[in-house]
Amino acid sequence: MTIGEICGFLGGEVQCTGDPGREITGAIAGDLLSFIMGAAKEGSLWITIQAHLNVAAVAVLKDLPLIIIASGRRAPDDLTERCASENIAVLSVPQSMYEVCAELARRGLNG
Amino acid sequence: MAAPVCLEYRIEGNDFMVAGAASNNIKNTLKMLGISSSVCTRVAIIAYEAEINLVIHGGGGVLKAEITEDRVKLTAEDEGPGIADIEKAMTEGFSTATEYAREMGFGAGMGLPNIKKNSDEFNIESEVGKGTRLYSTVFFNKQ
């Protein structure tokens, strides 16, 4: 499933479009940056409630093309600017991390 | 590759927001040199964790990458408080990061273990009150 499709069915606000046609191959959820650095697989989306510049650093280094910021948090301007320059999509949604995970799993996206 | 490529970055202490810039630069340099993406990712993880450690714990320091024919050697050096018990610091889950750093998602106690796991050669030397030196080597032909 593509970034565009995921943003479509989850709703929320696309703060950075990234590459909407890019296929997402997996998913990971977590707020500990070192955990994501160690465990995320390239090409996965990342669900978190962290919303600061280092989120972009981790996404760039691990090649995570979609960041979903959950629980109504929003990316600050410096984060969206960095993501825009790196072609990373940012979606902020009102749903909790759990709800986002459940919805993605229901639609067939496996971790 | 004839001459080694040497990259050196001064990392400021407590400036969380610039962390990642040096690691990204090192990763992009390796990519440009045609190094495999799995190696680039391993080096990126090591460099980022080392960079974050310099920011959070070291009070700033220097991150170096020396790229030769078959390997990249990373060195992170600071003149911070040092590590009293290296074995403890290497234990997954152990962290001395501040509450503020933890709220930002740092201080999971996974930085040094992540570095070791992704290194082919790893060494850390520290003296309390003097500082810490971390060495990590990744070979390009190993997977």
pLDDT by position in tens, chain A (length 111): 999 999 999 999 999 999 999 999 999 999 999 999 999 999 999 999 999 999 999 999 999 999 999 999 999 999 999 999 999 999 999 999 999 999 999 999 987
* CB proximity B20 to A under 8 Å: yes
pLDDT confidence of B15, banded at 50, 70, 90? Answer: confident
pLDDT over threshold 60, residue B41: yes
Q: Which of A31, A37, A69, A79 to mutate to test the interface with B (most CBs of B within 10 A)?
A: A37
Looking at chain A from residue 22 to 61, which residues have their Cβ under 8 Å from any Cβ of chain B?
Answer: 31-35, 37-38, 42, 48, 50, 52-58, 60-61
Contacts of A33 in chain B (CB under 8 A): 52, 104-106, 108
Q: Quick one: three-class SS letters along B23-56?
A: HHHHHHHHHHCCCCHHHHHHHHHHHHHHHHHHHH
Three-class DSSP category at B89: helix
Whether pLDDT at B1 is above 60:
no
Instruction: Write down all domains in chain B, each with its CATH number in brackets.
Output: 5-139 (3.30.565.10)
Closest alpha carbon to A31 in A58, A10, A65, A60? A58
What number is the ipTM of this complex? 0.84
Domains of chain A, with CATH numbers? 3-106 (3.40.1390.20)
